[in-house]
Amino acid sequence: MSKPQNTKLVIAISSRALFDMEKSHQVFVEQGIEAYCRYQIEHENETLEPGVAFSMVKKFLALNQSDQQMVEIVLISRNSADTGLRVFNSIEHFDLGISRAAFTGGESPYQYVAPFGATLFLSADPEDVRQALDSGIAAATILPSQGDGSNNERLKIAFDGDAVLFSDVAEQVYQSHGLEVFSATEKEAANEPLPGGPFKPVLSALHDIQVHFGSKESPIRTALITARSAPAHERVIRTLRAWDIRIDESYFLGGMDKGLFLQTFDADIFFDDQSGHCDSARQYVPTGHVPSGVSNN
């Protein structure tokens, strides 16, 4: 099936990433699908609380102008239309501009991400995320996080490098041969751009929106927060230059903990492939785990 062509950024998101549905999910886990359906119908007029990705979604939708829609959010849910009514009631309550949805009645919804033309899929279900990644779509598992998004109007998105923005070819060298060989290899290949990773299309789409608004007026700010350090930094910088993609801030931490840097950047969301970095990050900011590359084999 060919992917629909879009001039806007389309993001597919699950109901559990958008709203706090832990109570109802616990009913499903402990009592089964029938009890879950009854619970949702009985509470369908009770507004769901915002979830981990809510702030990010709200800021994305605020980018849309009266004459041009820059971003579309579509809901992809394992709910049925019946049990999903509570989700749409909550969307209406918060005045979110979300009108398209797929309710799959318990089936894995990832296969509907591509027909919607989505560049990014965010879900609380790790298996759905893995399947989306395997099909070539950028995807992340939204983790329970302490932070609820940036405190300012600007949308701030942070990315790890290897296995997220870039492929994991360098990470494979590091894990197989250690830091010394990795550093030497990356220095030698400094002028050779890294292959793109699963989130390159996401960064490219964000860059296009930034160009539309202009650098001074851009409502989006991006950051690269990587465990790399000199001399392995040069290949990353030259890769972004070769892609002709702007990234606003870059931090080469040389293995330091990322959490406090993300808190200082005030990220609305951070994407990383390594569980350890995600565990640190989610203590401070909304975090998505990208189960790609050698670290997740």
Q: Which residues have a catalytic role annotated?
A: 160
**Whole-angstrom distance, CA of residue 95 vs CA of residue 194:** 41
Cα angle 263-287-260, degrees, rounded to a multiple of 5: 20
Residue 171 to residue 276: CA distance in whole angstroms: 15
Q: Please choose, from the candidates 105, 124, 118, 103, the residue with its C-alpha nearest in 3D space to the C-alpha of residue 51.
A: 124
Tell me how far apart the alpha carbons of residues 186 and 237 are, in angstroms, rounded to a whole number. Answer: 12
Going by C-beta distance under 8 Å and a sequence separation of 6 or more, which residues neighbour residue 59? Answer: 149, 150, 153, 154, 155, 219, 268
| Residue that the structure tokens 């993609």 belong to | 245
Give DSSP secondary structure letters for 199-255: THHHHHHHHHHHHHH-TTT-SEEEEEEES--TTTHHHHHHHHHHHT---SEEEE-TT
Cα dihedral sign, 268-289-124-110: positive
Q: Is the Cα torsion angle 248, 143, 71, 62 positive or negative in sign?
A: negative
Count the residues in the chain. 297
- d(CA 211, CA 189) in angstroms, rounded, equals 30
d(CA 24, CA 204) in angstroms, rounded, equals 36
